[in-house]
Amino acid sequence: MNLSYRIYYVWKRNLTAYKRFIIPTLLVSLGEPFFYLIAMGLGLGAYMGAFGGKSYLFFLASGLIVASTMLTATFECLYDTYVRMVIEKIYSSLIVTPISAEDIVAGDIAWGVFRGVISGFLMYLIAALLGAAPVSVHAILLLFGLMVTVGILFGSLSMIITSFAPNFDFFNYYTQLVVSPIFFFSGVFFPLDRFPAGLQLVSQFSPLTHAVTISRAIFNNSYSPLLFLNLLAIIIPAAGAFYLAIICMKRRLIK
């Protein structure tokens, strides 16, 4: 793979464009945490018992942080990447510069990761203000590393889908048939042990399930050697998806 420091320039270009809309974007991003954490964490949580000795709001926040990262990185590398590549023709402009095709794709994935981490951090910030998240440098650093890994995985998977997309409607298949089931059946909203046995087994194939497990361990400051397996279940697919995303997008760009 022909990757270089020029990845930074692709990321910086996206950041420069993003600054023009940063205020409305952040306001929209802040609305999502308020909706989920207050409407569901406080509203629905009032009718639910404790989860592992913690409130439902605490339980929900630990899952939504990584889920928010996944969703933002996914949509950034689906719709926004497609716009930059097909409609705005930015990829075509970049590829005639010293920036390689690999750098362009990796830079866009890096941008998706960045957006995902911002979304996850905003979710964490709201949860912390509501007293539903640990406030320590140790927890923040671990959650940051987890969000970056989740962003790379789902940003790369979305980039693979984008490399085959003929139009915007094509993304509905991926978001409705893959992303939505992952979001709702990875233990974000309810413990997996409440699900039927077959669904519990299927959920173990979702990387988000393992990310939620690690996030809850960080929230509870409760670690076990088995978490290393959960981490591998995210890192290995992330590395494979990143490599495949670059190959697939490079093929589309050089056509």
Please give the pLDDT value at position 36: 75
% of the chain exceeding 90 in pLDDT: 46
Residue 229 predicted with pLDDT over 90? yes
Please give the pLDDT value at position 66: 94
Please give the pLDDT value at position 31: 66
Please give the pLDDT value at position 105: 93
| Average pLDDT value for residue range 18-29 | 72
Please give the pLDDT value at position 213: 94
| Average pLDDT value for residue range 122-131 | 87
Structure tokens at 152: 């790379």
* Domain range annotation of the chain: 7-253
Residue 110 predicted with pLDDT over 80? yes
Alpha helix (H) ranges present in the chain? 7-19, 22-34, 56-75, 81-82, 90-94, 101-129, 137-164, 170-174, 180-184, 197-203, 207-220, 227-253
Q: Which long-range contacts (CB under 8 A, 24 or more apart) does 52-60 make?
A: 52/220, 54/220, 55/132, 57/127, 57/130, 57/132, 58/132, 58/133, 58/219, 59/191, 59/216, 60/36, 60/132, 60/188, 60/189
What is the model's pTM? 0.92
Please give the pLDDT value at position 152: 97
Given pLDDT bands bounded at 50, 70 and 90, which one contains residue 127? confident
Q: How far apart are CA 231 and CA 142, in angstroms?
A: 12
Q: How many residues does the chain have?
A: 255
Please give the pLDDT value at position 158: 96
Given pLDDT bands bounded at 50, 70 and 90, which one contains residue 188? confident
Please give the pLDDT value at position 126: 86
| Average pLDDT value for residue range 151-161 | 96
| pLDDT tens track for 24-47 | 776 666 666 677 777 776 666 666
Q: How far apart are CA 69 and CA 51, in angstroms?
A: 23
